[in-house]
Structure 1
């Protein structure tokens, strides 16, 4: 890919798609969607990277799973995977070798495709792509954590007084949601304290109920060996870690040598009232 084309692949397509008046020269003769994978037909800004190939064990399980499922119609997915895993362990090294060879060939093909995929990015674009991947990974971890807590029966945190007010006002309403929220904010500010107290007292009751349910749930999690899910949990400090010895650097050795010379010079000076002279060691 030429340097000029590499520098402006994404920029050219953006400007071309938005019909911007700025131009970087002649428009590419081949459509960018065909010549580069920088943009794909999706809502994402970045293209989909090549799919990482499966290892030898996963390839065997995917191939064997239909047969195991037909032989065990009443078994669930986890049980079928366990059966496939036991069958894999029973295979000899010679029987496993074809799957290992296929996995190695797919891995080499994946490396080549990934290098081609990476070459379509500039340094700045690659940094943005890595940041977006880290963000999606954090979002996926948070979603899995929420799903896990929901399955474990964690009590749902109640809304406060303003939330109850908004819920009551929005029931059965339709129209511009943003404008309604803006209007309700002003209504809540101008609402008399006696009216606000009705929602606040209801929110306080829900909060007290929530705290009681949370205490019972946290005790249950501790009994089940999941103390990390409890509020204010701090992991125990490990005291068996050995302190690593400090490495002696060149600066440390030079400082020690200078200190030694200074000590010798001070020892060589005569003290008041003494006739003896210090000797060099």
Structure 2
């Protein structure tokens, strides 16, 4: 049995070696199109069976990936943000001839991406296509919400009021038990549940005060948005309230009732006068007819 098992292990090892060599040669064929100095190895079509192909990098991002380790070695004390700014400044000062290798590599990668995308989409079922369309709509809605939130922040929209627990958590977060944020929040939740009602009442009152603050700030902010012509960012309930006619005070209601009563009296008097005139004219006609 021992020689047979040894033979089986040898065959298995030989098969693995052939598979590794095959994958390496295939990868070399896929990446031989692009210069090794400007582009990282590109995935083959067979590697995209599990998911959609990734979009290729543009020329600028390829330059960033090439220069970032060089700048980091030359300036180890510089922050990552400053390194990116320095690379961006270099890219802006480069001539079109210097940018050409990166742009050409990006163009070839985009062409390969189109081929891979068509190959991937041809393997999808109708249900998978529908699911991808749904996920795309969800991503677009999420991006739209993020952009709108960022815009409202730039316009100075007031922050929403905090709950009693949020106020309690912000006051005791530093001394909370636990080393991670999740552990601290869990311990604070336990402490909050163990508080007595009169202890929670303090934070409840603070939350009510914060609601009043939010209401006042929102009213001022929305009035300002109306002045600058940005009614599209105002809440729907505020717009509907502005469209409704203003509620009349009790004094105004009494004045309206008096005015209606006066109109009714004047109408009644006018009708009685018209009736008397009609009666007089009828009697006069009757007298003239009798004399005749």
Indicate whether the TM-score tops 0.5. no
Higher normalized helix content (fraction of residues) = 2
- TM-score norm. by structure 1 comes to 0.45
Q: Is the radius of gyration larger for structure 1 or structure 2?
A: 2
